[in-house]
Amino acid sequence: MGERIVAFQGEHGAYSEEAIHRQFGEDTKTLPCETFAEVFAAIQRGRATHGMVPVENALAGTVFQVYELLIEHDFRVQAEHLLPITHHLLAPEGTALEDVKRVMSHPQALAQCADTLHRRGWEPVATYDTAGAARALAEHPEAHTAVIASALAGRLYGLAALDSGLEDDPGNSTRFFAIGADDAQRRDPSKTSLVFAVRHRPRALYDALGTFALRNINLTKIESRPMRGRAWQYWFYLDFEGHWRDSAAEAALVDLLRQASMVKMLGSYPAALGGPNTGGA
């Protein structure tokens, strides 16, 4: 087997890179990409063997752009990783906390710290990446300016940590998908992710979800999202406990294919322990 190279969106020091190291080990080779689309392109072109992409945050919700890319590409989810997120306020050495007036970071990070930013009167400034904001501020310091990023980014770019735990909820965490060209090797407990659309008729969604309820399969996620280019039509993102090769799951999926207008399997993969659960959707 060749060397594993894992692509991620952002600069070195991004939370996605931290998730890579925790999932695959500290020595794993990583490939920074400017956008999520470039992560998928890197795998497609052979520059990376895998990608690590955020799909959901406990506070800010689903990263829909990643799901749209999963629909467009024929990659498989090979693992999920839950990363507790602790946001740090970083600034060049010598900056005092009381001097901070504006804070730069990725929109997701700003959203996760929205109450803190408002309470302290800091102006949020959106950038394309948390670690990228840290590197930019280290290279070109600005008065009264700090960034929200990881402790790793602070160490990499020589910024001082003025404060930590800026997230509005101490339970803040992000769910990542490790993606690749092949199906994941089975390791239970498993989880399965898919996307489907239903026909425009009464009970369409009820019947689609009923295929799982009838077989006592627990759903851990169900969410709708408008289809691009098709006004008032929707994708449904669904996760369930178990592997698609389980007999009950296979029967449910065959039934779903009859009920839905489209079904795309994203993958069955080892479930992260302590993962998000709706309590039985």
Phi and psi dihedrals of 23, rounded to 5? -80, -45
All domains of the chain in start order, with CATH: 5-85+172-180 (3.40.190.10), 88-164 (3.40.190.10), 190-270 (3.30.70.260)
Q: Residue 277: what pLDDT?
A: 44
236-260 pLDDT, tens digit each = 999 999 999 999 999 999 999 999 9
57-95 pLDDT, tens digit each = 887 789 999 999 999 999 999 999 999 999 999 999 999
Q: Residue 232: what pLDDT?
A: 86
Q: In which band, very low, low, confident or very high, does the pLDDT at 274 lie, cut at 50, 70 and 90?
A: low
- Active-site positions read 174, 176
Owner of token pair 């992260």? 272
34 in helix, strand or coil?
Answer: coil
pLDDT > 70: what percent of the chain?
Answer: 96
Helix axes 204-213, 247-259, angle to 10 degrees: 170
Report the alpha-carbon distance of residue 169 to residue 171 in Å, rounded.
5
